[in-house]
Amino acid sequence: MHFEKRSHWSGELGREMHFNVYGHAGKPVIVFPSSGGNQNEYGNFGMIDACRSFIERGLIKFYTPDSFDSESWLAEWKSGQDMAQAHNAYDRYIINELVPLIRYESNWSGAMMATGCSMGGFHTINFALRHPDLFDVAIALSGVYDARFFTQEFNGNPTVYFNSPIDYLWNQQDNWFLDRYRQNHYIVAVGQGAWEEQHIADTKRLEYAFKAKGIDGWFDFWGKDVDHDWPWWRVQMPYFLGKLEEQGII
């Protein structure tokens, strides 16, 4: 398997940002880490090995950037406004700096895939819904989708609101977004075992919003033995990639 450990300067964040590359060809996949995770997390927890077949056959190519959560949603000393502003800088880094680099190096002009587990699931859905022209496939595993999980009640603050998928999707009326949502592919999965209570509740709320907007997402609730942990995510990710391959999406 082709592997690179990389970094580049981010003008948006004012720091060196690190990422790994796994694979030689295929649809680019940006992996958002779990809470505060770094470029190595996905590989260290066995997710790359779990997806090895898809990578080695040139169906997908993983990019695993560092998170910025310690400066945004996990910075509990900050106001919700400041948390969201910090996240928006990370959004600009991904969209304005990492995505163009991936396009250039991969010679890829189409849309990409977003994925992540736990907090990475939150980022996956948030990026995919905010940028449906850039991400046409999303696989979110065991995420929360309400920014109040990080900020508490934000009293309609628009900077937080537009990073809270359950809120802004429910009120979305712009056909530019809705048309793309209805063409894209969304997989949102959650277990019903240990440490999944909040994630189950948010997944149900997101599913309700999708249905209300006529968006055909796949919401998959796994069994009561399926915990919020890496061993199950290592099962889920290749399972869903296999379903996408069967449909010719990857």
Output Rg (C-alpha) for the chain, integer angstroms. Answer: 17
pLDDT band at 156 (very low <50, low <70, confident <90, very high): confident
When pLDDT is averaged across residues 75-98 and rounded to a whole number, the result is 98
Count of structural domains within the chain: 1
3-20: average pLDDT: 98
Q: What is the pLDDT of residue 155?
A: 85
Q: What is the CATH number of the domain that holds 235?
A: 3.40.50.1820
Q: What average pLDDT score do residues 8-22 get? A: 98
**From CA 111, how far away is CA 178, in angstroms rounded?**
16
Identify the DSSP state of 228.
S
Residue 82 in this model has a pLDDT that exceeds 90? yes
| Residue 106 pLDDT > 90 | yes
Token readout for 239 is 């399972």
Structure tokens at 170: 């429910």
The proportion of the chain whose per-residue pLDDT surpasses 70, expressed as a percent, equals: 100
Instruction: Quote the domain boundaries for residue 197.
Output: 3-246
Q: What is the pLDDT of residues 36-67, one digit of tens each?
A: 899 999 999 999 999 999 999 999 999 999 99
- For residue 166, give every residue at least 6 positions away whose Cβ sits within 8 Å of its Cβ, in sequence order, or none: 145, 146, 202, 205, 206, 209
